[in-house]
Amino acid sequence: MIRLEGVGVHLPQFALREINFVVPARGHGLIIGPTGSGKTTLLEMIAGHLPLASGRIFLRGHDVAGIAPEARRVGIVYQHYHLFPHYTVRENIWYGLTGPGRGRPVGPAHARIADLADRLGIGHLLDRTVTGLSGGEQQRIALARALAPAPDILLLDEPFSAVDPTTRRAVRAVLQSIHEQEPITILQVTHDFEDALRWGDVVAILHEGTVAQAGRPDDVFRYPNSPEVARFVGTGNLLAGVIQRREAADPEMALTFPALFRVGRLVLELVADREGPAHIILRPEDLVVGRAPHLGSARNRFGATIVRRETVGPITYLHVDAGEPLTAAITTTTADEMQYRTGEVVQLAIKATAIHII
């Protein structure tokens, strides 16, 4: 387990402050955030390469303050791998077990290196130097080196950013397999939202030196807690307007009440818990598109003009003007069957309960 409590660090012209985040034992946590938000700095603090200015770091339930990096049982893979060009692949991996040294490992070390190399698909490269190897091969070597001493914690600093999509998927699959077989806890820095949604147990969004939101990936991506998080994760249509109460609160609805959200000429019914200025999110997949004036039972129905059609594999995004720019997501099969075209006026609908207030 990794637990950060009020962690902070001060560097020239940059600081992390009050970082609170927990990755469960044998879990896979992810840190995402804009460039310069402190993601790599956070990994280096956990590894012990940077001193804390405040807070505590717990690994496996133990406070690691004052414990040297080499005693923390932490492996780390950096974005650019940091392999030794004058070492063979075998010696690079062996370095993870022994530190500086040349030669040929024997006994358990030899077996561990051979096993990792085979699982990562680099067994045939062990006696070659790393010079001239592909990015994907170097990435696997760096992973093998970090995993060689069987660490309890594995820190990954954007390990897939420098390889092509096919290699990225292959190495992800291998890492997932190793994670299932070995009792390690992973914390990964990434810019790839697919990593967070497919592999993560928990995710934290870093923004301006602190955790803006943390939780289960689906909750963070579907229900951002601020406009900044919503813009960063690209949750959907973010609108700024005003909420007005329609009637008194229903006792059965606790603290919520029927309300209207107004922005420009667009007026939407929703269920609210407060009045006044607010942001709402309309997720593209929650917007129903059609030509008929009545689309199901949704309370909100309004016209919109198609401005642009964007097809991304099985999904087609219709960018429309409804008084405010909106994007709706439909299947490409439906878009082709309905022959939606630029300039056409269509009807949109969305349920009041599908509108998320932040």
In this structure, the chain runs to a length of 358
What is residue 100's predicted lDDT score, i.e. its pLDDT? 63
CB 237 within 8 A of CB 327: yes
Per DSSP (E only), the strands in 111-265 are 153-157, 185-189, 202-207, 210-215, 237-245, 257-263
Look at residues 112, 108, 188 and name the one whose alpha carbon lies nearest to residue 144: 112
Assigned token pair, 21: 């985040």
CB-side exposure of 74: number of CA atoms within 13 Å? 27
Q: Give the rounded percent of residues in the chain with a pLDDT score beyond 90.
A: 74
Per DSSP (E only), the strands in 216-256 are 237-245
What is residue 235's predicted lDDT score, i.e. its pLDDT? 87
Residues with Cβ within 8 Å of 282's Cβ and at least 6 positions away in sequence, in order, are 236, 237, 239, 326, 350, 354, 355
- Domains annotated for the chain, with CATH where assigned, are 2-228 (3.40.50.300), 236-357 (2.40.50.100)
pLDDT digits (tens, 9 = 90+) for 218-265: 999 999 999 999 999 998 899 999 999 987 656 665 688 999 999 999
Residues of the chain with pLDDT under 50: none
pLDDT digits (tens, 9 = 90+) for 165-224: 888 888 888 889 999 999 999 999 998 888 888 889 999 999 989 999 999 999 999 999
Distance (Å, whole) CA 303 – CA 154: 51
Question: Could you give the angle at the alpha carbon of 247 between the alpha carbons of 241 and 248, nearest 5°?
Answer: 115
User: pTM, whole model, 2 decimals?
Assistant: 0.88
DSSP string, 157-202: ESTTTTS-HHHHHHHHHHHHHHHHHS--EEEEE-S-HHHHHHH-SE
What is residue 251's predicted lDDT score, i.e. its pLDDT? 60
